Amino acid sequence: MKAADRREELAEHLMKVGYSRIDDLVEHFGISRMTVHRHIDALARQGILRKLHGAVTVQPSGLYESAFRYRVTVGHDEKEALARAALDYVEPGQAIMLDDSTTAATLANVLDKVTPLTVITNSVASAEHLAKVDEIDLICLGGQYHRIYNAYIGLICERAIAALRVNVLFLSASAVQGTTAFIQDQQVVRVKQAMMDVARKRILLVDHLKFDKLALNVLGDLSMFDVVLTTDRLPADQVSALTQAGINLRVVAMGGPR
């Protein structure tokens, strides 16, 4: 196995278990202690893992929280509720765009309810599902594949986006502080902002856990989005503050939209 593939496998395992002794990793993967340390050192430099004495743990960093394999394990019920509500903004015959978020990927799973559609995305997970739907014309945005996000990003992707125009964009953010949305990775910010530039309507999907959090890079003010969808798990005082700030906030009940 190539070193990069083994490192990815090791990172995925640790994201699932959260903590492991070095000896357990040696036994689990059947590789030498030196090899385990080499991979852990590389992952620690990326901010994904943290080395302890004789053990390793997932590093609670923005990069780790941005990892696709982590994001798919968090807030599944909320993402499904947001996806159901997002269907209200989709009409047959439209061209819509989905970002690399796991929330948008959840929406991709139910788009067969509103067809025919043209769907554009840089998300590998969304594309893999949509490719199986007969009445969806799928356009995949190329570029440099990034394993952490399971998506294509970079200059090639941005240029492909700029050549298109869509009716509706569905996207998410890493964090929301006040009325500002944030993304951890600056390359991902550029891709999402390029998407925003070509969309007639922008719908931001954010679960309640992302509020009152920070990430490294500003995506934009919430006022830049036509609708901000969240769930009724967001505390009432935060809902009130956002509404008073002029944000077009739609609160979705976990049993369905309200």
My answer on whether 113 and 203 are in the same domain is yes
My answer on whether 80 and 54 are in the same domain is no
> Which domain does 52 fall in, by range?
3-60
The residues, any chain, with a CB within 8 Å of residue 64's CB and separated by 6 or more, are 15, 47, 48, 58, 70
Q: Residue 64 has what pLDDT?
A: 47
My answer on whether 50 and 115 are in the same domain is no
My answer on whether 42 and 104 are in the same domain is no
What CATH number has the domain bearing residue 102? 3.40.50.1360
Beta partners for residue 249, in sequence order: 228
Residues 41-99: tens digit of each pLDDT: 887 776 667 888 889 887 654 554 455 555 555 567 889 999 999 999 999 999 999 99
**Inside any domain, residue 68:** no
Average pLDDT estimate for 216-230 = 96
- What is the number of structural domains in the chain? 2
Distance separating alpha carbons of residues 229 and 247, to the nearest angstrom: 11
Q: Residue 256 has what pLDDT?
A: 47
Q: Residue 258 has what pLDDT?
A: 44
Are the CB atoms for 85 and 193 separated by under 8 Å?
no
Distance separating alpha carbons of residues 111 and 11, to the nearest angstrom: 32
**Inside any domain, residue 176:** yes
Lowest mean pLDDT among 13-17, 133-137, 145-149: 13-17
My answer on whether 35 and 97 are in the same domain is no
My answer on whether 232 and 112 are in the same domain is yes
Average pLDDT estimate for 234-241 = 96
My answer on whether 111 and 136 are in the same domain is yes
**Inside any domain, residue 69:** no
My answer on whether 23 and 114 are in the same domain is no
Are the CB atoms for 258 and 105 separated by under 8 Å?
no
My answer on whether 99 and 159 are in the same domain is yes
Q: Residue 58 has what pLDDT?
A: 74
Q: Residue 75 has what pLDDT?
A: 63
Best-predicted range by mean pLDDT (93-97, 148-152, 210-214):
93-97
Lowest mean pLDDT among 14-28, 160-174, 227-241: 14-28
Counting residues of the chain whose pLDDT is more than 90, the rounded percentage is 66
- If you average pLDDT over every residue of the chain, what do you get? 89
pLDDT band at 222 (very low <50, low <70, confident <90, very high): very high
**Inside any domain, residue 67:** no
**Inside any domain, residue 13:** yes
Choice between 87 and 40, residue whose per-residue pLDDT is larger: 87
My answer on whether 132 and 166 are in the same domain is yes
107 has pLDDT over 50: yes
DSSP H or E run through 21: strand 19-21
My answer on whether 154 and 220 are in the same domain is yes
197 has pLDDT over 80: yes
My answer on whether 219 and 101 are in the same domain is yes
The residues, any chain, with a CB within 8 Å of residue 63's CB and separated by 6 or more, are 46, 47, 48, 148, 184, 185
Q: Residue 71 has what pLDDT?
A: 55
**Inside any domain, residue 87:** yes
pLDDT band at 1 (very low <50, low <70, confident <90, very high): low
186 has pLDDT over 80: yes
**Inside any domain, residue 38:** yes
